[in-house]
Amino acid sequence: MARRPTGTTEPRSELYDEKQAIRRVNQAGTNASAQNLAIQSAARVSARWSAGFGEHHKGWLAIQKTLQSDPVVPKLAYAGYKAFVGEYISKVRNKGTETSDMVVSKFTRLGLDGSKLSAIVAVLGEVLDTGY
């Protein structure tokens, strides 16, 4: 049984166990079957890890096209809009802890254009609901 870090109360994740297996195989040497196992495990780990970024990345790419078509938006404001996309997807779509209006009003108070934020919400709804 693998050792758990002290002070943790939650059980280890499958991802943690895979990473530990990869580490042990790498320390074992140059056995061909061990290398194949490490490569397969690493592929599974990276696929699971990157799967969570699909929705955020797809949403941000759609918003970049919207922002680039508007010459009034300064490049420095892109960070704020990117933060808005992340928070909207996280709190409104995934967790459901806030409404769309709450997130829009928060970022409007922070200095972003409310009409652009509403347009972004519409684009995100289209892109994330249809998958394109």
pLDDT digits (tens, 9 = 90+) for 50-87: 665 677 777 888 888 778 777 788 888 888 998 999 89
For residue 47, pLDDT beyond 90: no
Is position 8 within any domain? no
| Same-domain check for residues 88 and 110 | yes
Say if residue 62 is in the same domain as residue 126. Answer: yes
- State whether 70 and 85 are in the same domain: yes
Q: Which domain holds residue 22?
A: 14-51
Q: Is 126 domain-assigned?
A: yes
pTM (two decimals): 0.58
Q: How many domains does the chain have?
A: 2
Cβ neighbors of 21 (< 8 A, separation 6 or more) are 37, 38, 41
* In a shared domain, residues 71 and 92: yes
Q: What percent of the chain has pLDDT over 90?
A: 20
Q: Round the average pLDDT of the chain to a whole number and report it.
A: 77
Contact 67, 73 (CB under 8 A): yes
- Same domain, residue pair 111 and 93: yes
User: Is residue 116 located within the same domain as residue 71?
Assistant: yes
More reliable by pLDDT, 109 or 18: 109
Q: Quick one: pLDDT at residue 108?
A: 95
Residue 98 C-alpha from the chain's centroid? 18
Pair 66, 104 in one domain: yes
